[in-house]
Amino acid sequence: MTFARPLAIALTLVLQAAVLVPPSGAAPLRLELTQGVIEPMPYALPTFIAENPAGAKAATDISQVIADDLTGTGLFRQIPATAFISKVSSFDAPVQYADWKAINAQALITGAVSVQGDKVVVKFRLFDVFSGAPMGEGLQFVGPVTTWRRMGHKVADAVYSRITGEGGYFDSRVVFVSESGPKAQRQMRLGLMDYDGANTTYLTDNSSIVLAPRFSPDGKRIIYVSYKSGFPHIYVMDMATLQQQQLDDQPGTMTFAPRFSPDGRSAVFSLEQAGNTDLYSIDLASGTARRLTNAPSIETAPSYSPDGSKIVFESDRSGEQQIYVMSAGGGEPTRISFGAGKYATPVWSPRGDLIAFTKQNDGRFYIGVMKTDGSEERLLTASFLDEGPTWAPNGRVIMFTREAAGADSAPQIYSVDISGRNLKRVPTDGPASDPAWGPLLP
Amino acid sequence: MLNFNKALLLVAALGLAACNNPNRYANGGAGANGMGGAGGAGGISSQGLGDASNPASVAYFNQSVGDRVLFLEDQSTLTPEAQQILTAQAQWLNKYPDYAIIVEGHADERGTREYNIALGARRAGTVQEFLVSQGVRAGRIKTISYGKERPVATCDDESCWSQNRRAVTVLSQGLNG
C-alpha cells in the first residue's frame, strides 16, 4: 500500500532526543530528532469493541496492554477517552477524521475482540488522522485466550513498527535472575517474564546460585551459569522441556559468562584454570572447544557481533577493565574503550551499530553506549550500581540491573532508551538482576 | 549419593559465621553441597564445629590460625599480613594432612558480576599457589570463586568491602587416601 502523506517517525541514532513537529496543512507528519525535549505523538485508542459478550473483558484488557506498550516507550501520548468526539461503534464503520483531528490525535488505533471457546480473535486498524487515510492494512490475530497479552503486544508492535519504521519489541520475553533473602545469603533462581514484567514463571528452583542467563537467537534455549555441581559451570536449558545439560569442560576449571553465537550453533564463554581466566568458544553439537585468548589477564564478558564475525569482550590486560574487539576465531584484539574509569560487560547491539557497556568511575556506575570502534561514547544512566546491559530486539532500548546502596538494598531491573530518556523500573515480582532480552516472538 | 559426614564437616568448616548460620551456602555453594550432596536446601542443619581447644580441629584452624586473607581493591597480590596467615595455614595443613581444602575467592560488590567471578578465582588461585609453595600437596586443594555473590559484610562502605575481598580456606575431613 502507498500513501501520499505517510505518517512517520524518523528515528536516527546520532541525535539525542525527539521533537514532534506538528503537521501544517498537507505536510507529512514526522518526528524529527533534535537536541530538544521530546513531545510524544498524541494517539487515540478507543477501547476495542467486544464483538461478542465473551470478548468484553479481553477487549478492555488488550486495549490497555496496547496503550501501556505505546505510552511506555515515551514516544507516544494517549489522548484520554473523555476528550473523544467520535464514538467508534463498529470495527468497519467509516472513520470521522475531522473528529480525531479536532482533538489533535495524529494516530488512531481501532480494534475489535471476540472470544470463541478458548480462542481469542483480535483485529485492528491504524489511521493517519491528518492524512485522512489508513496506515497499512488491518490485521487479525487469533490465538489461545491465555495469550491475550501477547495479542496486545502484537498490535502494539505493528503500530510502533508502522509509525517508526523500526522493528517492534513488545512481544518478547526476558530471562533474569530472581533474588530473595538477605544480601549475604541471596537465594537465586532463573525467572522468565514478558518484557513488561508480566507472566513471570521460574525455570529453576533456588537451591543453587544461578547467574547470567542468555537466550539463544531463536529464543528456544537459554545458556547460563549454575553452581549446582558445587562449582560454577555453564548449562544449556531447552525452554520447551526445561531440560538442562552441562557444557563439557575440563575438571578443575570454572566456566562462566556464556553467550550464544548469532547462528545458535556455538557459544563463547570464560574458562578459569589455576586462577587465570581466558575466552573459549565451543561447538554445541560436537562439544569441540577452541581457545580464543591466551593471556595472564582476565578475559571475560564476551559478546558476538550480529554477523558472527567478531567478539567484543573485557580484559584487564592494561591494568584495569577495558573493552576489546577481536575476530570471532581469536587473534590480536583491538582496544576500543579509552575514557576515564573501567569499562565492562560489553554487549553488541542486534543492529550491529553500537556496543552497550557498564562503566565504573569515581565510585559510580554507568550504563552507556559507544560505536563499535569506541567513538561517540554516551552515558545513559548513573547510580550507585548499574550493570549488565541487554538489548531490546530492535536495538532501541536497554535493560540493566540497578542496586541502591545499603545493607537492605536489593537489585531491580530498569530500562532506558538509547537516547538516555525514558528510564524506568521494570515491575518484577521481587528483586531481580541479570536481565537478558530475547528475540521478538514469532 | 550424599556423603553425610563429609557434608557436615564442610559446613562446619565455614568459619565463625557458620555458628549463627549453618546454612550459609546452602544455595549451591561448594561448602554446603559441593562434594556431592543435596545438602541443606530449605532444611536447617546443625553440627558441631569441633573443640577450638583441640589444635587438630577445624574450629582451631578457623579461630587460631585464621581461615581467611584479605585483598586490596581489585588486587590479588598477597599483602605481608596475608602471607603471614597463609604461612601459618600451610604449617597447620602440613601437620594435619587429612583435611581436604577448598579455597574460596570472593570480591566486593563494587565491580561487575562476571569480572568479580574471575577476580575471586584469581585470588583463590594466588592462595592455592602460595600454599603449594609452602609444601601443601596440590592435590588436596580445590578452588572456587563466588565473585560478589556471597559477601560477609553488607554495609556500603570500605569497612565492609574490605572484609568481602577475601579468600577463605575451607576444610573438610576425610581425604580418601
| Of B174 and A87, more confident | A87
C-alpha cell at A431: 528483586
Quick check: B102 and B172 in contact, CB under 8 A? yes
pLDDT band, very low/low/confident/very high, at B49 (cuts 50, 70, 90): low
d(CA A317, CA B132): 26
Q: What is the pLDDT, as a whole number, of residue B4?
A: 32
Does any domain span residue B89?
Answer: yes
The CATH number assigned to the domain holding B130 equals 3.30.1330.60
**DSSP class per residue in A329-373:** TEEEEEE---SSSEEEEEEE-TTSSEEEEEEEETTEEEEEEEETT
Quick check: B164 and B108 in contact, CB under 8 A? yes
Does any domain span residue B103?
Answer: yes
Residue with cell 569482550: A313
Most B CBs within 10 A among A246, A277, A433, hence the mutation to make, goes to A277
| Of B7 and B127, more confident | B127
Query: Which of chain A's residues have a Cβ under 8 Å away from the Cβ of B151?
Result: 183-184
d(CA A150, CA A143): 9
Q: What is the pLDDT, as a whole number, of residue A401?
A: 98
Domain count for chain B: 1
CA dist list (Å): B101 to A32, A133, A234, B133, B169: 63, 75, 24, 15, 7
Q: Say which CATH architecture domain A8-164 belongs to.
A: 3-Layer(aba) Sandwich (3.40)
For residue range B58-111, list pLDDT tens digits in order.
Answer: 999 999 999 999 999 999 999 999 999 999 999 999 999 999 999 999 999 999
Quick check: A247 and A295 in contact, CB under 8 A? no
CATH number of the A172-440 domain: 2.120.10.30
Q: Which residues in chain A are classed under CATH 3.40.50.10070?
A: 8-164
Query: Which of chain B's residues have a Cβ under 8 Å away from the Cβ of A228?
Result: 28
Nearest to A229 by CA among B106, B144, B36: B36
User: Would the CB atoms of A229 and B156 count as touching at under 8 Å?
Assistant: no
Does any domain span residue B177?
Answer: no
Does any domain span residue B67?
Answer: yes
Query: Which of chain A's residues have a Cβ under 8 Å away from the Cβ of B117?
Result: 211, 232, 254, 256-257, 270, 272, 300
Does any domain span residue B41?
Answer: no
Q: Which residues in chain A are classed under CATH 2.120.10.30?
A: 172-440
Does any domain span residue B75?
Answer: yes
Query: Which residue type, as a one-letter code, is found at position A15?
Result: L
Determine the structural domain holding residue B104 and report its residue range: 52-172
CA dist list (Å): A87 to A13, A44, A83, B14: 38, 11, 11, 70
- In the predicted model, residues of chain A with pLDDT beneath 50 are 1-30, 32-37
Q: What is the pLDDT, as a whole number, of residue B48?
A: 55
Q: Which of B27, B114, B152 sits opposite A207 (nearest CB)?
A: B27
Q: What is the pLDDT, as a whole number, of residue A307?
A: 98
Alpha helices in A23-110 (DSSP H): 56-72, 97-102
For residue range A344-401, list pLDDT tens digits in order.
Answer: 999 999 999 999 999 999 999 999 999 999 999 999 999 999 999 999 999 999 999 9
